[in-house]
Amino acid sequence: MSTPYRGTDDARPPRLADAITRAVTGCLGAGMMLLPAPQLTGRSVALVPIGVLLVAVSLAGPLAHWRMVGTLAAATAVIESAFTRPDLATLAWEGLLILGYLLLVDAPRAMPGPVTARWLWRQLPLAVWGVFTAAIVLVVLAVPVPVSAWLLVGGAGAAVAAVVIALPRRPGQPREPR
């Protein structure tokens, strides 16, 4: 007989849904670190192992419950992209990888399968808006316009708003399905 869901319980072995969520999160984290890696030069190459280590620590280990580790990993990926100056398609993919990583790294641990499915369903609007925003940014950046100060200020404001929205928050514990 299964025991009722009590939130995060580290004494039990991880459930299949939790293991799959962590594996997908690890793949997204590794992708966001490795996508800009071939274009890094000099000392900036050191960001790759640092970022991969932060991704690994955010998924397992004593600091896995500290949400700032995942944010630091995502910030490392953003810094990597800033050093490489990627093309538009790579930049859009990098943004989607970071969004997926930040959404999944914030998932509550040790949830039963139906609760995990409902939690993922509730994250779907964020993912859809992220894809929509990446598509808009891709289109807007592809259109040549003369650079103006207002355009730069608007872009910086949009970047700050995106970071504030995407930062992991403490999620409420989902209820057990009936």
**Does residue 108 register a pLDDT over 90?**
no
Q: Where do the structural domains in the chain lie, given as residue ranges?
A: 16-166
Residue 98 CA to residue 137 CA, distance in Å, equals 15
Residue 105 CA to residue 91 CA, distance in Å, equals 21
CA dihedral 6, 20, 133, 83 (to 10 degrees): 110
Q: How many CB atoms lie within 10 A of CB 75?
A: 16
Check residues 8 and 13 and name the one with the higher pLDDT. Answer: 13
For 20-71, the pLDDT digits (tens) are 888 998 999 999 999 888 888 888 889 899 999 999 998 887 777 777 888 8
| Residue 38 per-residue DSSP state | G
Identify the pLDDT of residue 147: 66
Question: Which amino acid, one-letter code, is at 157?
Answer: G
**Does residue 5 register a pLDDT over 50?**
no
pTM of the predicted structure, to 2 decimals: 0.69
The pLDDT-based confidence of 172 (bands split at 50, 70, 90) is: low
Identify the pLDDT of residue 148: 67
CA dihedral 58, 61, 64, 69 (to 10 degrees): -40
For 126-167, the pLDDT digits (tens) are 888 888 888 877 777 777 766 666 666 777 778 777 777 766
- Asked if 79 contacts 132 with a C-beta cutoff of 8 angstroms, the reply is no
Residue 24 CA to residue 30 CA, distance in Å, equals 10
Identify the pLDDT of residue 14: 60
